[in-house]
Amino acid sequence: MKRNALSNVHSDKLFEQVYDYLLERITRGEWRAHEKLPSIRTLAIELNVHRLTVFKAYQMLKQNRKVYVKEKSGYYVLPNNMLPLDSQHDPIVSAYVQESSLSEIHQVKAVYQFSIALLDPHLLPNQFFSEYVKRVFDLYPKVLGTYSTIQGDRELREALCHYFTKRYHFYLSADELLITSGSQEAIDLIARVLIKPRDAVLLERPTYSPAIDVFRRQGANIIPIEIHPHGYDLDRVEMLMQQYKPRLFYLNPTFHNPTGFVVPAEQRKRLVEIAHKYKCVLVEDDPCPDIYFEEKPPLPLFSYDTAGYVIYIRSFSKYIAPGLSIAMIACHPSFMSYLIRAKSLSDSGTPLLNQKIFLHYFFCERMQKHLAKLRIALAIRRDIMEQELSVTDWKWSSPTGGFNLWIRLPESTPMESLLSKSIEQSITFVPGSIFDPQREFKSWIRMSYSFLNEQQLREGLKRLVHLSRTLHPEGNPSGD
Ligand SMILES: Cc1ncc(COP(=O)(O)O)c(C=O)c1O
């Protein structure tokens, strides 16, 4: 939240920008009636402006009957200035420079792509896929001549509601679902609807890198919270929510990307309670709950939510049919109309053909049986990766699902040379700093075991281990 960020807002005077910013947050109800606002000093530091600027903004708020002053105490919110959640203004589209760090790595052509957390296309049931495509054209002969509705095909949304009721006991109506073109689009829509410049956003550290890029582009003030093998330090989450009043917490609690960690059920329930207390929306991104190698993961946070504070994003893209790019958002109706409006600005609905193919393909018995085979195939690939890397002194927690190993290399490893030399040898992986809002994690890398076949995995890993030893001979226990 720096001065140059403030100057992106269309307002002539700095104190007016601070005024707009504070008023927006008061209107949204981030501080309740009669709640004390941050001190002039705290805000001046936070916004990187002079104290006099904050003082002038507060005076203007007082003049306009938004706040009142208590002698020797500070500024307090006057009642009746907050709007209900569903009366927020339209989103601002900011002019921030757009970055996409992960996609840059993905563009590197290589034989051994440990950087891609997608399924090996050979693991998909390609032979029977074409049968479903044909069936869709027979059932809906005019499918290519029609747009979907913006919210998504009703038949698909109803089938998904039925699926969620059966599987998780979520009781949803089709009106509470929005079909998106991948969960990447879902994150983007949510950010556009909920985030304006300088809003605080909690992000896990590390986290899914494109989410950092999306929230940064919105001008968010990113507040990191560490994720550990057994979840979060919930006292810290609460402290951060109290201190920064984040608008949302974006999280990926099931087979987290990049670490593979799973947030336990007790924490999920508590997290929903904390979020409710501090009016912080939890954006739960859930791209691979079916890819478990031991027991099924806990229920999504969404299933603990009764007050509408969880927005649930579910992708069906990564292991069902990446080429169809189908995902969905389930949320409280108060958010839905804003999301539909935002989606209508980016496309005319996710392609109907893709939605219909997905509908017939995903819910068929064959596909559900195929998922069981997929879990076994991926568990074998995880084991191969762990076996090949066991000769190194690299460290990781063995994932119980998902697509990746999150690995710590010795600090002395020259990471940049390792990456550039790997690329020369047609090997890619993702450096850990890309997943960190603070761009640290310099000794960490993400290695995906899902994209290469078993033979390629073994060959590529042997080459990578050999290469790392040439750069870092003291990390080689056997000395070769
Ligand atoms: C946590 C997370 N969110 C979102 C996505 C993007 O998914 P989609 O392919 O549905 O856009 C991914 C893909 O890797 C992911 O890991």
Residue with CA nearest ligand 1 atom 16: 257
- Residue reference for tokens 């979020």: 275
The amino acid at residue 226 is: E
Mutate to test the pocket of ligand 1, among 318, 354, 358, 430 (most ligand atoms within 8 A of CB): 318
Please indicate whether residue 182, judged by its CB atom, sits closer than 6 Å to ligand 1: yes
65 contact partners, CB below 8 Å, separation of at least 6? 78
Please indicate whether residue 450, judged by its CB atom, sits closer than 6 Å to ligand 1: no
d(CA 374, CA 211): 27
Using an 8 Å Cβ cutoff, are 320 and 362 in contact? Answer: yes
Distance 186 CA to ligand 1 centre (A): 10
* pLDDT reported for residue 243: 95
403 contact partners, CB below 8 Å, separation of at least 6? 117, 118, 119, 255, 257, 288, 291, 318, 378, 448, 449, 450
Q: CA torsion angle for 453, 457, 459, 462 (degrees, to 10)?
A: -170
Low-confidence ranges of the chain (pLDDT < 70): 1-12, 80-101, 103, 472-480
The counts of H helices and E strands in the chain are 16, 14
Residue with CA nearest ligand 1 atom 7: 183
Distance 254 CA to ligand 1 centre (A): 12
The amino acid at residue 350 is: T
- Give the tens place of pLDDT for each residue, 295-311: 999 999 999 998 999 99
Please indicate whether residue 285, judged by its CB atom, sits closer than 6 Å to ligand 1: yes
Q: Of the residues 83, 109, 144, which one is the last residue of a structural domain?
A: 83
Same domain, yes or no: 58 and 34: yes
* pLDDT reported for residue 473: 55
Distance 467 CA to ligand 1 centre (A): 30
Query: Closest ligand 1 atom, CA of 316?
Result: 10
Whether 417 is in a domain gets the answer yes
Same domain, yes or no: 348 and 409: no
Using an 8 Å Cβ cutoff, are 272 and 301 in contact? Answer: yes
Residue with CA nearest ligand 1 atom 12: 287
Whether 233 is in a domain gets the answer yes
Please indicate whether residue 246, judged by its CB atom, sits closer than 6 Å to ligand 1: no
What is the span of the domain harbouring residue 69? 3-83
Same domain, yes or no: 205 and 338: yes
Helix axes of 182-194 and 333-346: crossing angle, nearest 10 degrees: 110
Neighbours of 120 (CB within 10 A): 18
Q: CA torsion angle for 212, 213, 214, 215 (degrees, to 10)?
A: 50
Distance 315 CA to ligand 1 centre (A): 7
Whether 90 is in a domain gets the answer no
Whether 480 is in a domain gets the answer no
Using an 8 Å Cβ cutoff, are 278 and 272 in contact? Answer: no
Same domain, yes or no: 330 and 445: no
121 contact partners, CB below 8 Å, separation of at least 6? none
* pLDDT reported for residue 132: 85
Whether 88 is in a domain gets the answer no
* pLDDT reported for residue 364: 87
Distance 38 CA to ligand 1 centre (A): 37
Neighbours of 239 (CB within 10 A): 12
Structurally, how many domains does the chain consist of? 3
Distance 183 CA to ligand 1 centre (A): 6
Query: DSSP letters along 51-70, please?
Result: HHHHHHHHHHHHHTTSEEEE
d(CA 257, CA 211): 11
Q: Of the residues 310, 333, 366, which one is the last residue of a structural domain?
A: 366
Please indicate whether residue 207, judged by its CB atom, sits closer than 6 Å to ligand 1: no
CATH of the domain at 10: 1.10.10.10
Same domain, yes or no: 361 and 374: no
Whether 94 is in a domain gets the answer no
Same domain, yes or no: 227 and 215: yes
Using an 8 Å Cβ cutoff, are 394 and 408 in contact? Answer: yes
Mutate to test the pocket of ligand 1, among 103, 180, 255, 257 (most ligand atoms within 8 A of CB): 257
- Give the tens place of pLDDT for each residue, 147-183: 889 999 999 999 999 999 998 888 899 999 999 999 9
DSSP state for residue 13 in the 8-state scheme:
S
Please indicate whether residue 253, judged by its CB atom, sits closer than 6 Å to ligand 1: no
CATH of the domain at 382: 3.90.1150.10
Same domain, yes or no: 110 and 187: no
Same domain, yes or no: 42 and 62: yes
Whether 452 is in a domain gets the answer yes
Q: Of the residues 366, 393, 427, which one is the last residue of a structural domain?
A: 366
* φ, ψ (nearest 5 deg) of residue 173: -110, 160
Neighbour-count burial for 400-409, b at 16+ CB within 10 Å, e otherwise: bbbbbbbbbb
Distance 199 CA to ligand 1 centre (A): 23
What is the sign, positive or negative, of the torsion defined by CA atoms of 285, 290, 291, 294? positive
Please indicate whether residue 210, judged by its CB atom, sits closer than 6 Å to ligand 1: no
* pLDDT reported for residue 96: 32
d(CA 434, CA 465): 22
**Beta-sheet pairing, 112-113 with 427-428:** parallel
Using an 8 Å Cβ cutoff, are 167 and 368 in contact? Answer: no
Please indicate whether residue 443, judged by its CB atom, sits closer than 6 Å to ligand 1: no
